[in-house]
Structure 1
Amino acid sequence: MWPNPTIPLRIKLSGTPREIGLEHGRQLACQIRKQIEIYNTMFKETSKLDWPTVRDIANEYRVTIERLTPDIYAEIAGIANGAELDILDIVALNCRSEIALGLFSDGCSSLGWKFKDRTLLAQNWDWTASIKDNLVIMSISQQDKPAIHMVTEAGIIGKIGFNSSSVGTCLNAIRARPTDPKKLPVHVALRVCLNSTSAALAIAQLEALGSLASAQHILIADSEGPVGLELSPMGDVYLKPNDHGMICHTNHFIQNRFVDEPPWLSGSPIRLDRMRRLASALVADGETVTREALRKKIFSDTFNAPQSICCQEDPLRPLPTRSSTLFCIVMRFAPSTRPTAQIVWGKPGSGEGDVIIMP
């Protein structure tokens, strides 16, 4: 019986935003409650905030989400009803990055790569191991919007994945100030992207909505290639692929200088340089760049562990915030071809789990 560390839970949702939310809440009520327990402990550890205070802060974001993205707000309200929780509990999960003022230490390394006939979009997602039992591969059939296939945390409406229009998203957390509760939380912004029919339209929608409440990097791609979105409440910078069609990113801004970003993860610049070197070596060797090659040659790399591309737990960190790679996803987009992803549910190259196909 689930949970199984090597076999993720899969659920399918469909209908109106409220119907999608209700079923999400009903099917994942247990996991959502566990998420609240985990983040309650993390907020106390990182920000000295108890859950009632977190909910008070979340109310500011609740107003913003309802004003700017009413369909997404209806889905969040449905999750709360389905799980028999207060809506502020679900809003708090969806703006946990903003409430903590960037004090969570989730790492993550992402890469987008455009070739003549395809685009690959990939990421190692690093976070505390206690979250893994509450991750889910979620498929959503929506009215008048693309179908979505993503890996997300129970209760969170936008994360890492792609849609039926071949628009995909990856996320790198950034620790920087300020935050602005009158703007969109990053997980809501990810859902805006996944609701879009092209990367260009997703970017235009984020611009129209006023960008993000916190500093974050969203690596977005479609069959035309990747774009790095270094987003913040103070201003945005878009990164273009290099001469090889590639964008690599870790957990610091490369070009965005609009925010106050003190150094926090010392391994982030090292990981970025390492990713670029390993990817360039693939090009120099003339090796065909496949999803398997990315996992084997880049995303399984443990150079500079524990803060490596394939992240290892750091025993020197407090237990609630120790990160390690929980899954590796590689998406593939090509014109006139159905988008797909391969997922390793665990550390790539470690033998932790078989390759899972999404959808």
Structure 2
Amino acid sequence: MGSLGPVATPPERIDLSGSPHEIGVQHGRQLAAKIRSQIVVYDAMFQTNTKMDWDAVRKVSQDYAKTIQRLTPEIYTEMEGIAEGANLDILDVVALNSRSEIALGMFSDGCSSTGWDRKDLGVLLAQNWDWTARVKNNCVMMSIDQPNKPKIWMVTEAGIVGKIGFNSASVATCMNAIRAKPVDSSKIPVHIALRVCLESTSKKEAIDRIKSLGGIASAQHILLADTEGPVSLELTPKGDTHILPDEDGIVCHTNHLIENRDVHEPPWLSGSPIRLDRIRKLMKQVATTEKYVDGDILRRRVFSDTYNAPQAICCQEDPSRPIASRSSTLFCIVMKLGACNDLPQAEVVWGQPGSGREGDVLHMPW
């Protein structure tokens, strides 16, 4: 395997618990170096994509800070703790958690996700997360244990409070970035919305909470599931569209809006419609040919697929793009919810599945 390059180094795992402030301080202290590295990475990315340096980004984040503090005060308190623990300004942490909104979605962030309600066999939720390789060393597997709330397990970037994962109530989230306008800083950023979902006890509660908070600040896609099945949430500041599974119980999404027409969405990733057709086709094949489906089958038959590379389901770096905004698949996650009252669980493979350089299968919970 030496000719293929080094095997992916597994991510750090951290466990956080206590009050919102205590959780934040633990996060900031344990991940201070990674959070600072994230700021350097995103500073370069913002300058490449939006011509804003980090000082300008922090100024823009002031409005989001007010919104997060007003609408989700406990999450804001946690973010203050992160800033305290990492010896940073609160606006640094807000900027990281609002980076999708501040950049108007202009990053080359591509992801392919799928949810599958297999009835008595349980619900699967899975995705490849595609992003710049420069953040890979700053991603972690994190658990968050809060009083009177479900326990969370997720894969996230250092400094970011909500991402891809599930909770002890079998509510799970995946996400796909969308580039569209407008953006509304009076609404919550998508990473805050993901955390709201992961603090909910059902997908209905998650949807109701996002609605009660006034919706989200930018057009984004959250693939949400509980033991009753998945739902595709195309969320925008102008209105939301929910896409239900097809006749096989499957719903798929990539990086463009499929049904929501409430916002202006200029052409972005030309490979996104191709990836959507491809993942739908591959999932249909799996559903009709496999009696028992696990993470290994999904990785081999779906998430390692390189059709239409570099903009494939298993994304490759595009050398024609600036280094600061090149994307590739950084990890693959397959979550399983609630067959026969089993506890939720996930398999995470660090690196590109099927490449020969991916690491061993990691498990959540640990």
Mark yes or no: TM-score above 0.5: yes
- How far apart are the structure 1 equivalents of 2:27 and 2:245? 36
Per the alignment, residue 301 of structure 1 pairs with: 305
2:231 counterpart of 1:227:
yes
Deviation at 1:28, TM superposition (A): 0.3
Deviation at 1:285, TM superposition (A): 2.1
User: Which segments of 5 or more consecutive residues in structure 1 lack a partner in the other structure?
Assistant: none
Match of 2:222 among 218, 223, 232: 218
Deviation at 1:289, TM superposition (A): 2.1
2:47 counterpart of 1:44:
yes
SS in 1 for 2:222: strand
2:113 counterpart of 1:107:
no
Match of 2:195 among 171, 191, 197: 191
- How far apart are the structure 2 equivalents of 1:99 and 1:247? 29
Match of 2:33 among 27, 30, 33: 30
Per the alignment, residue 256 of structure 2 pairs with: 252
Per the alignment, residue 142 of structure 2 pairs with: 138
SS in 2 for 1:236: strand
2:91 counterpart of 1:85:
no
Per the alignment, residue 16 of structure 2 pairs with: 13
- How far apart are the structure 2 equivalents of 1:278 and 1:14? 40
- Please report the TM-score for the alignment, with normalisation by the length of structure 1: 0.98
Deviation at 1:286, TM superposition (A): 4.2
Per the alignment, residue 4 of structure 2 pairs with: none
Deviation at 1:5, TM superposition (A): 3.6
Per the alignment, residue 73 of structure 2 pairs with: 70
Residue type at the aligned position of 2:317? E
Identity of aligned residues (%): 63
Deviation at 1:164, TM superposition (A): 0.4
Deviation at 1:234, TM superposition (A): 0.6
Residue type at the aligned position of 1:312? Q
Residue type at the aligned position of 1:347? Q
Per the alignment, residue 341 of structure 1 pairs with: 346
- How far apart are the structure 1 equivalents of 2:291 and 2:351? 25
Which stretch shows the higher mean deviation, 57-66 or 332-341?
Answer: 332-341
Q: Contact conserved, 1:5 with 1:133, CA < 8 A, in 2?
A: no
| CA distance 1:286–1:339, shift in 2 (3 Å) | closer
Residue type at the aligned position of 1:339? P
Deviation at 1:112, TM superposition (A): 0.3
Per the alignment, residue 289 of structure 2 pairs with: 285
- How far apart are the structure 1 equivalents of 2:9 and 2:67? 38
SS in 2 for 1:221: strand
- Please report the TM-score for the alignment, with normalisation by the length of structure 2: 0.96
- Provide, for residues 163-203 of structure 1, a one-character-per-residue CA deviation record: whole Å limited to 9, x for no partner: 00000000000000000000000000000000000111000
Per the alignment, residue 172 of structure 2 pairs with: 168
Deviation at 1:136, TM superposition (A): 0.2
How many residues get paired? 356
Match of 1:202 among 202, 206, 211: 206
Let me know the Cα RMSD of the aligned residues. 0.9
User: Which segments of 5 or more consecutive residues in structure 2 lack a partner in the other structure?
Assistant: 1-6
Q: Contact conserved, 1:108 with 1:126, CA < 8 A, in 2?
A: yes
Q: Contact conserved, 1:6 with 1:354, CA < 8 A, in 2?
A: no
Match of 1:350 among 340, 347, 355: 355
